[in-house]
Amino acid sequence: MSILDKLEEISKEGQKEVSSASSLEGLEAARVSFLGKKGKITVILKSLGDLSLEDRPAIGKKANEVRRSIENTISKRKEELESKALEQKLEEEVIDITLPGRCFFTGKKHLITQIVDEITDTFIGLGYRVAEGPEVETEYYNFDALNTPADHPARSLMDTLYTQKDGVLLRTHTSPVQIRIMEKTLPPVYIIAPGKAYRRDVPDPSHSPMFHQVEGLAVDKNITFGDLKGTLEVFAKKMFGADRKIRLRPHFFPFTEPSAEVDVSCIMCDGKGCRVCSGVGWLEILGAGMVDPNVLSGVGYDPEEVSGFAFGMGVERIAMLKYGVNDIRLFFENDMRFLAQF
């Protein structure tokens, strides 16, 4: 058998073996058998040096043609096998979209956060800005700068949570933020200060050692008590409904003079008297008053040039009144059955 006939036979044999390969591993074995270092085509190409000069061109040309033909067939078969393997893999990993999906509970804002946001949005709409301050305070900012006498009951260990460092405590209200802002800002000042406050209280349906407050402060020229009342009327209507009314009762706070407790007409009975409002038709919502001149002088303001008002409200109390919650502890127990209602 001549070398040309042998090459023709190798070509047919190679095409058949490559085409019948059923896996990528079998295809690689066929390639090595014909095109590898010791493959059938390679052996013939290496033997060209032993042939006569007349036979070399024809045999070399034929050998290369057979090699290219087998390489092309290998390439096509490889694509076919890879495509088949991919289809098989996709079939094995198919996702049954008819199965019901898993239910995941999406997070929601806590009711207290919702109320803080609602209060904040109301006062931002009135031109106020939000201010913040530290929760660990000094006696100066928490009491002294707010005109609180040295013998005031709020300073006692029975009411206030002091740290081991003298004169340092957990703030009992967010009013210290007002002092810090006024020390750094010239009038006019229009701010609200939402945040946490702390008092030495035993938890019960109406008390918690940690609670949330929103304090408000307005200082400008010609601020009057009428401006305070008008501002709080807008707030009450936004928070509790357009038909709400407010009333102001004389009270005392060290940092405001005159001072007042502010009531809103009962949400349940519309002011007619019911169990919720103890039959009086009113619900207390916050404390307020005109900023005491001593407080203004303490931060470098001239009480003859500017005046102001301040107010403070407990966020939990606002939430309890608005939604009829009868126990403040429910806000801190993280019971999803309760929180999911809001």
Measured between alpha carbons, how far is 201 from 127 in angstroms, rounded to an integer? 35
pLDDT at residue number 1: 57
User: CA-CA distance, 337 to 60, in Å (whole number)?
Assistant: 86
* Contact of 257 with 250, CB cutoff 8 Å: no
List alpha helices for the chain, DSSP H.
3-19, 24-35, 40-46, 56-92, 111-125, 139-142, 176-184, 225-240, 293-298, 315-323, 336-339
Confidence of residue 220 (pLDDT cuts 50, 70, 90): very high
Q: What tokens does 209 get?
A: 């050692």
CB 171 within 8 A of CB 177: no
**Each residue's pLDDT tens digit, 266-289:** 877 777 777 767 788 888 899 999
Supply 79's token pair.
């694509």
Contact 342, 111 (CB under 8 A): yes
Domain 111-339 has CATH 2.60.40.420: no
Residues 150-168: pLDDT tens digits?
888 888 888 899 998 988 9
Strands 282-291 and 168-170: unpaired
The predicted-structure confidence for 70-85, as pLDDT tens digits, reads as follows: 888 888 888 888 888 8
Angle, vertex CA 209, rays to CA 203 and CA 212, nearest 5: 115
170 in Cβ contact with 136 (< 8 Å): yes
Least confident span in 31-45, 114-128, 152-166, 183-197: 31-45
Residue 277, both tokens: 């409002």
**pLDDT at residue 96, as a whole number:** 75
pLDDT digits (tens, 9 = 90+) for 52-64: 777 677 777 777 7
- φ, ψ for residue 106, nearest 5 deg: -85, 145
Show Cβ contacts of residue 324 under 8 Å, excluding neighbours closer than 6 positions.
268, 276
State the DSSP H helix or E strand holding residue 168, giving kind and residue range, or none if neither: strand 168-170
Nearest to 320 by CA among 329, 311, 312: 329
Rounded distance between C-alpha atoms, residue 316 and residue 323, angstroms: 11
